[in-house]
Amino acid sequence: MRLIDADRTLWHTARQRLFRPVDALFAALIVVVAAGVRIPEAVQYVPFVISLVLLGLPHGALDHLVPSRLARRAPEPRGMAFVVLLYLLVGGAVVLLWFLNPVLAFVAFILTTWFHWGQGDLFVEGTRSGAGLPSRLTRAGMLTVRGALPMVVPLVAAPAVYLGVFRDTTGVIAAPTLDLTPFFESELLRALIISGLVVLGAITFTATARARWGTPEGRRAWWGDLGEVALLAVYFAIVPPILAIGLYFCLWHSLRHIVRLSLLDPGSRECLSAGRFALVARRFAVQSAPITIVALGLLLALFLVVPRSGLSGGALLGLYLVLISALTLPHVVVVSIMDRRQAVWASEGDVTKKLQSGRRGGAALKLAPK
Ligand SMILES: CC1=C(/C=C/C(C)=C/C=C/C(C)=C/C=C/C=C(C)/C=C/C=C(C)/C=C/C2=C(C)CCCC2(C)C)C(C)(C)CCC1
Ligand SMILES: [Fe+2]
């Protein structure tokens, strides 16, 4: 896939000015933890606490504006009503599932996150260069590998922490009914999971090499992709999971999504073109504040409603994850609509038709000529 040139330049700037420093921070954390420094448990929760008001929770708080932004129109009530209804119905159904079957709700949440974080990275990967993203199947492979890094690597590297978060999160709703300890402790399962991921990664990178190797730009993109995957794989294997995932949620997934949203907003786009990131951040903070406050209200309501909410770090994180899971599914629907309009999954023919009819939805992608 190829991005229209103006967008590609803006993504390049974002990569240099925003994403590279985050790479450096993750690399530094790997070194610090590998050197044997123990990060106190309380500190590990800090990114999740900050995510309540900065980057994390707010990154979905403009979802109601997405339909109008994609259509390049001023915010309109119909699009907003659609998104609010979507959140009410789908989010409500997820909360209900937590009450009916917390274990199933947890597993569904992990799988949804796997998909969603993979889909976010797949889009950003497509902005890296004019070199083609390969077949849809390979794109699905890229999504699966990217999403698996935060969801699967901690399961293999720190199963006890994963089990703890599972217990805390399901535990805010009901006393545990199912003991999954053997599942989390199975060496065989861990070996199978990690080998599956390595094999899938190898197949995917071989396939993307075939699509991208033809030009110097394509080769740079391929190495860049590989570098990110390697960094994240080591990061999630070494850094304590709650800290690692909290930082990734804010500084990786949400930051990229906010850049994507800002490119669909003419005012923010102008600031981005001028490299004025502080102004973009301010605009986003102002735009996302009202709905973020509503979402915080929902968190408080959930705290009062769920039967076993507590004040320990684990219980509070569990409660927050229950809320996030209810927000994530409708958010995934909105982001999937963005993916569709921005041609993330399109075949070459579809994209050409879209470009010809001028329905580009802002940062539209087009496939590189073969
Ligand atoms: C628009 C709207 C709104 C809002 C919204 C929002 C605000 C959204 C957001 C969204 C979001 C905010 C999303 C997010 C996502 C996230 C995620 C998806 C995460 C996940 C995570 C996980 C899953 C993890 C886990 C773990 C840990 C932590 C540790 C270790 C282990 C484990 C891995 C388990 C409202 C409702 C108000 C209204 C209507 C409209
Ligand atoms: Fe997201």
pLDDT tens column, 65-98: 999 999 999 999 999 999 999 999 999 999 999 9
CB 333 within 8 A of CB 86: yes
Give the model's pLDDT for residue 151: 98
Euclidean distance between CA atoms 252 and 268, whole angstroms: 20
Q: Mean pLDDT throughout 236-249? A: 98
Ligand nearest to the CA of 252: 2
Q: Is 331 annotated as a binding residue?
A: no
Among 113, 250, 337, say which to mutate for ligand 1: greatest number of ligand atoms within 8 Å of CB. 113
Whether residue 39 is contained in a domain is answered as: no
Q: Identify which has the larger pLDDT, 362 or 370.
A: 362
- Binning pLDDT at 50, 70 and 90, where does residue 284 land? very high
Query: Taking CB atoms and a 6 Å cutoff, what residues make up the pocket around ligand 1?
Result: 56-57, 59-61, 63-64, 83-84, 87, 109-110, 113, 116, 151, 154, 161-162, 165, 241-242, 245, 249, 291, 294-295, 324, 327-328, 331
How sure is the predictor about 179, in pLDDT bands with cuts at 50, 70 and 90?
Answer: confident
Does residue 368 lie in a domain region?
no
Would the pLDDT of 144 be above 90? yes
For 369, counting Cβ atoms within 10 Å of its Cβ (0-12 exposed, 13-18 middle, 19+ buried), the class is exposed
User: Which pLDDT band, with edges at 50, 70 and 90, does 4 fall under?
Assistant: low
Domains in the chain: how many in total?
1
Q: Indicate if the pLDDT at residue 369 is higher than 80.
A: no
137 alpha carbon, distance to own chain's centre: 20
Does any domain span residue 213?
yes
* d(CA 316, ligand 1 centre) in Å: 14
Give residue 244's domain range: 2-33+44-356
Question: Of 356 and 280, which is predicted with more confidence?
Answer: 280
Annotated ligand binding at 253? The verdict is yes
Rounded to the nearest angstrom, the distance between the alpha carbon of 191 and the centre of ligand 2 is 29
**Would you say residue 366 lies in a domain?**
no
Q: Give nearest CA residue, ligand 1 atom 15.
A: 328
Residue 348 lies in a domain: yes
Ligand nearest to the CA of 291: 1
133: left (phi over 0), alpha (psi -120 to 50) or beta: beta
Alpha carbon of 50 to ligand 1 centroid (Å) = 13
According to the model, what pLDDT value does residue 6 have? 77
The C-alpha atoms of residue 62 and residue 291 are separated, in whole angstroms, by: 8
> Residue 303 C-alpha to ligand 2 middle, in angstroms?
23
Specify burial of residue 249 (Cβ count, 10 A radius: 0-12, 13-18, 19+): buried
Predicted confidence (pLDDT) at residue 323 exceeds the cutoff of 90 = yes
Q: Looking at residues 11-21, what average pLDDT do you find? A: 95
| Residue 182 CA to ligand 1 centre (angstroms) | 28
Distance 335 CA to ligand 2 centre (A): 7
Query: 351 pLDDT exceeds 70?
Result: no
pLDDT of residue 211: 86
Which tokens sit at 71? Answer: 């259509």
Q: Which atom of ligand 1 is nearest to the CA of 150?
A: 33
- Confidence band of 130 (pLDDT split at 50, 70, 90): low
pLDDT at 364 over 50: no
Q: Any idea which ligand is nearest the CA of 114?
A: 1
pLDDT, residue 131, reads: 60
Is the per-residue pLDDT at 220 higher than 80?
yes
Establish if 263 belongs to a structural domain. Answer: yes
Return the closest-CA partner of residue 249 out of 33, 20, 52.
Answer: 52
290 contacts: CB under 8 Å, gap ≥ 6: 61
Range name among 99-113, 178-192, 267-281, 331-345 with the lowest pLDDT average: 178-192
Instruction: State residue 2 phi and psi, 5-degree precision.
Output: -130, 140
Whether residue 367 has pLDDT greater than 60 = no
The structure's pTM equals 0.92
Instruction: Report whether pLDDT(255) > 90.
Output: yes
Q: Which ligand 1 atom minimizes the distance to the CA of 246?
A: 28
User: For 285-310, what is the mean pLDDT?
Assistant: 95
Query: How much of the chain, in percent, has pLDDT values that exceed 70?
Result: 91
**pLDDT for the residue numbered 346:** 83
Residue-averaged pLDDT of the chain: 91
Query: Is 62 inside a domain boundary?
Result: yes
Average pLDDT rounded to a whole number, residues 243-250: 98
Percent of the chain with pLDDT over 90: 80
Buried b (16+ CB within 10 A) or exposed e, 319-351: bbbbbbbbbbbbbbebbebbbebbbbbbeeeeb
Is 12 within any annotated ligand binding site? no
Separation between Cα atoms, residue 341 and residue 329, nearest integer Å: 19
Predicted confidence at residue 366, as pLDDT, reads 36
- The pLDDT score that the predictor gives to residue 239 is 98
3-7, 116-120, 158-162, 163-167: range with lowest mean pLDDT:
3-7
- The stretches of 59-135 forming alpha helices (DSSP H) are 66-70, 77-86, 92-100, 102-126
In a domain, 289, yes or no: yes
Closest ligand to Cα 65: 1
- Judge whether residue 347 has pLDDT over 80: no
| Residue 355: predicted pLDDT | 41
pLDDT value at residue 264: 95
**Higher confidence at residue 304 or residue 370?**
304
Instruction: Say how far apart CA 71 and CA 338 lie, in whole Å.
Output: 11
